[in-house]
Structure 1
Amino acid sequence: MNQQANKIQNPETSVPKTPQMNERDFVNDQLTTEKYMTASYNIALNEASNQTLYQDLATIFKETQDCQRNLYNLMFKNGWYGVEQEQQQKIQQTYQQFTGYKAQLPYTIQ
């Protein structure tokens, strides 16, 4: 199947191609930083032993995650970030695989 046909992406907003950072470069750098920060806050949440600290970290994590999502949406809107469309058959296979894993658990959460 043609890989280009599976690409979901908006038309790209042009930016100057110079050695200096352009708008796309700045937004991409910020998105990468936000992704790193959400991963780090996730680890901190897992390790927090104090409930008040946990609540504060959870609030900051949510704000950081929302910022990351807004940056992703901005990049997607400008055609600077694309995603691949997966085939329905592959999605169904993965679903069945994880359904099988769930059946192997000693108890299931419904």
Structure 2
Amino acid sequence: MNPSASKIQNPETTVPKTPQMNERDFINDQLTTEKYMTNSYNIALNEASNQALYQDLATIFKETQDCQRNLYNLMFKNGWYAVEQAEQTKVQQTYQQFTGYKSQLPYSVQ
């Protein structure tokens, strides 16, 4: 971790530290499952050749993605999920890198 980067995190909601799964463990397990499912649905969407199937998968994907986001928000709210604030110079470098990629695309795509 970069020492100059700061963590963004809410105060942690305490949960019992026992061998049994606690609320944080259950939510983290579900979040991991939802992330796996959205990745799998994304692959299925890319491979679907039937339009009706594609539409059904797209609906399910959106519902699953929304569920994943709600679980992430809950974990963040309870201080169980932290993110790192990016340095402004790193953000600017990444922006310039992808701007360079964009300039390599055909004109009609830009």
The reply on whether 1:105 has 2:95 as its aligned counterpart is no
Q: How does 1:35-54 map to 2 (within 5 A)?
A: 35-54=35-54
Distance 1:63 1:47 in 2: 19
Instruction: Note the C-alpha offset of 1:109.
Output: 2.4
Distance in 2, Cα, partners of 1:56 & 1:105: 32
CA distance in 2, matches of 1:94, 1:9: 24
Counterpart for residue 2 of structure 1: 3
Gaps of 5+ in 2: none
Inter-partner Cα distance in structure 2 for 1:30 and 1:108: 42
Aligned length: 109
**1:71 matched residue in structure 2:** 71
- Alignment match, 2:33: 33
Larger helix share, 1 or 2: 1
Gaps of 5+ in 1: none
SS in 2 for 1:80: coil
**Match of 1:105, as an amino acid?**
L
Task: Name the Cα RMSD after superposition.
Answer: 1.3
Runs of 4+ in 1 over 3 A off after TM superposition: none
CA apart distance, 1:2: 3.3
Indicate the percent of aligned positions where both proteins have the same amino acid.
85
Q: Which residue of 2 aligns with 1:60?
A: 60
Cα distance in 2 for residues equivalent to 1:19 and 1:52: 46
Deviation at 1:99, TM superposition (A): 0.6
**TM-score of the pair, normalised by structure 2:** 0.94
TM-score, L = length of structure 1: 0.94
